[in-house]
Amino acid sequence: MSEIFQHAPLLTYSRRGAIAGAFAAGSLFSIGVHAAAGLPRGLFSLGVASGDPEPDGVILWTRLAPQPMEHDGGMPALPVPVRWEIAEDEAFSRISRSGMARAEPYWGHSVHVDARGLRPGRSYFYRFIAGSEASPVGRTRTAPARGTAVDRLRLCFASCQKYEAGFYAAWRHVVEEDPDLILFLGDYIYEGAPNKKNAVRLHRNPEPMDLAGYRVRYATYKLDPLLQAAHHAAPWALTWDDHEVANDYAGALDEGNGDPVAFLRRRAAAYQAYYEHQPLRARPPRGPDMRLYRTLDWGSLAQLQIVDDRQYRGPHACQPPGLVEAHKPYLSKINDCADLYDPSRTMLGAAQEQWLDERLGKTKAQWNLLTQQTLMRQTVQHYQDGKAEYSADNWSGYPAARDRIFRRWAEAGTSNPLALGGDIHAFAAADIRNPDRPDDAPIAAEFVGGSITSLRPDPDFKPLAATNGLAFAENEIRGYGRLDIDAKGGSVTYRGLADARREDSPISDIARFSLEAGKPGLHVETV
Ligand code: FE
Ligand code: CA
């Protein structure tokens, strides 16, 4: 029995059944005794995490999984009481808040605690206690008080961490940056079967199609010590892209245009596993539906509008007639076609778009970060027989929906908008202009922060950068982006790994852009 357990109130709870009255004391008592007595060791193999900070609270996460490669984590099919503690010091001598949560078998024995009553703009330490074990200690941070001035915000933004394509050296460097917040913009897992091509290590289960499979896939990723360290270092805010479910899916259609009913069943399993493994404030999914879009405020300095461009998006553009009905794979590379610019085509869905319009009109924040998945600028991927080829899967395939956001920024006078993105496995930066006044000065800028590990072997990406209006384009270096802002301005720095196949890879700055409040657009610095 560990020292923690001897001192932990859980012991008190197990003996007396004393817990907040969320459920019947009698059954709790027996569950508590059973759980404390019979739990396997190694409950906290997947680490801990925190996320979605608010001024008075933060979400604390863990999942009990002594056998993480088992679909049930090696846990008994019983609810298990878990104590949580949050303190201002790492030794937990001044515990600010604590309480009991219940890890339910239905949710894979994951725990999401909405820890409240905290002070704004402060660092905290947190841990969980279950059975006779204490979790690793995580560090987190509350958001600054609502509407108040804030000296600075540092966030690191990252995406696309295919397990097989590299080690997570990037996360070691993110931890060293000591960010206030870590922003993850999608492709946290990849759903593919184990594939030796370009692999430094292999996925450990076949392509997941059900909850059991997705749980094992998340556990594979979450067991990585460098990824755990990044979760232990700072609160995260996440959104998903396609690979959390399946490559290039759009709403209820997968890339093979398979039966939508079957795909939505798969999506439900994937969304549940996503929820079970991330420190989300979001409500749990209901079947294939989960509302992920939300805002996150950092005092009066910044608001993040975190969007979901997968769940509600319409079908890909410019597809041959009858393809979907025939259940044939979609065409990922498209040429111009009439329906590409059809204003009824949507990336966010009508409800989310209306929500975003409202937020962009109401926000009082000095900087407004559109936290989305991919490159917004319409870019030619290749020229084939003189004809431009676009990706059907990013905003290039949804130009009207993209332009509506840009127009909204201009019309609502949204203060200092910036778009942050991922997905393309490359670094990119570009000005954003008002689609109705393309010759005017830029109204915003966008930054795509590379990939943690995922590859983009594309010989055309850099040569086409100037044609595509990208001020910076780099697809051979992996890493992440760092945003530093204060009331007057700031910078975006691209951090590039020497070799993402090495756990100990060094990193260096590969590009820097300065930001000036009230002067939208890119200001490239040399590094
Ligand atoms: Fe990706
Ligand atoms: Ca993607």
pLDDT, one tens digit per residue, over 131-151 is 999 999 999 999 999 999 999
**How far apart are the CA of 160 and the centre of ligand 1, in A?**
4
Mean pLDDT, rounded, of the chain: 93
Distance CA 278, CA 227 (A): 12
Quickly state the pLDDT bin for 527 (edges 50, 70, 90).
Answer: confident
Distance CA 76, CA 407 (A): 54
Query: What's the CA gap between 40 and 414, in Å, rounded?
Result: 53
Identify the nearest ligand to the CA of 158 by its number: 1
The answer to whether 373 and 239 are in contact (CB under 8 A) is yes
- In this structure, the dihedral spanned by the alpha carbons of residues 156, 157, 163 and 166, taken in order and rounded to 10 degrees, is -70
* Residue 430 · residue 470 · CB < 8 Å: yes
In a domain, 366, yes or no: no
Looking at the structure of the chain, the number of domains it has is: 1
Provide the residues around ligand 2 (an ion) whose CB is within 5 A.
187, 241-242, 423
Q: Is 464 a domain residue?
A: no
Give the pLDDT confidence score for residue 25 in this predicted structure.
36
Residue 5 lies in a domain: yes
Average pLDDT over residues 166-195: 98
| Cβ partners under 8 Å of residue 135, min gap 6 | 43, 44, 47, 48, 62, 127, 128, 129
Assign 62 a pLDDT band (cuts: 50, 70, 90).
very high
Q: How far is the CA of 396 from the centre of ligand 2 (A)?
A: 14
Q: At what angle do helices 211-222 and 225-233 cross, to 10 degrees?
A: 80
Is the pLDDT confidence value at 32 over 70? no
The ligand minimizing its distance to the Cα of 332 is 2
Task: Give the mean pLDDT of 304-316.
Answer: 97
**pLDDT value for 236:** 99
Q: How far, in Å, is the centroid of ligand 1 from the Cα of 423? A: 5
Q: How far is the CA of 503 from the centre of ligand 1 (A)?
A: 20
Lowest mean pLDDT segment, chosen from 2-6, 75-79, 297-301: 2-6
Question: What distance in angstroms lies between residue 186's CA and the mean position of ligand 2's atoms?
Answer: 7
CB 346 within 8 A of CB 313: yes
Ligand 1 midpoint to CA 22 (Å): 41
CATH of residue 42: 2.60.40.380
What DSSP line would sit under 29-40, residue for residue?
Answer: HHHHHHHHHHPP
Whether 110 maps to a domain, the answer reads yes
Distance (angstroms) between ligand 2 centre and the Cα of 451 equals 10
CA of 243 to the centre of ligand 2 (A): 6
Instruction: Using the mean position of ligand 2's atoms as its centre, give its distance from the Cα of residue 424 in Å.
Output: 7
Q: What confidence score (pLDDT) does residue 22 get?
A: 34
**How far is Cα 166 from Cα 198, in angstroms, rounded to an integer?**
9
Evaluate whether residue 193 is within a structural domain: yes
Is 140:426 a contact under the CB 8 Å cutoff?
A: no
Q: In what order do the strands lie in the sheet with 427-432?
A: 294-298, 302-306, 367-371, 417-421, 444-449, 427-432, 472-474
CA distance 44 to 358: 41
Ligand nearest to the CA of 159: 1
What average pLDDT does this structure show over 450-477?
97
pLDDT of residue 38: 82
CA of 308 relative to ligand 1 center, distance in Å:
15
pLDDT at 370: 98
**Given a cut of 80, is residue 497 above it in pLDDT?**
yes
User: d(Cα 418, Cα 434) in Å, to the nearest integer?
Assistant: 13
Does residue 102 form part of some domain?
yes
pLDDT at position 519, please? 96
Nearest ligand to the C-alpha of residue 247?
2
Q: How buried is 384 (Cβ within 10 angstroms: 0-12 exposed, 13-18 middle, 19+ buried)? A: exposed
What's the pLDDT at 37? 60
Query: Which ligand is closest in space to the CA of residue 478?
Result: 1
Q: Flag whether pLDDT at 8 surpasses 50.
A: no
| pLDDT value at residue 194 | 98
Cα of 456 from ligand 2 centre, angstroms: 11
Residue range 188-195: mean pLDDT, rounded: 98
Does a structural domain hold residue 274?
yes
Q: Which ligand is nearest to the CA of 242?
A: 2
- Per-residue pLDDT reduced to its tens digit, 338-365: 899 999 999 999 999 999 999 999 999 9
Distance in Å, CA 490 to ligand 2 centroid = 28
Cα(426) to centroid(ligand 2), Å: 12
Q: Is the confidence at residue 173, as pLDDT, over 80?
A: yes
Ligand number, closest to the Cα atom of 456: 1
Is 354 part of any domain?
A: no
What pLDDT was estimated at residue 234?
A: 98
User: Which of 133, 99, 114 is CA-nearest to residue 50?
Assistant: 114
Report if pTM > 0.85.
Answer: yes
Q: What is the mean pLDDT of residues 89-118?
A: 97
Residue 16 has pLDDT above 90, yes or no: no
Where in the sequence is the domain holding 47, given as residue range(s)? 1-143+188-238+262-291
Q: Give per-residue pLDDT as tens, 221-277.
A: 999 999 999 999 999 999 999 999 999 999 999 999 999 999 999 999 999 999 999
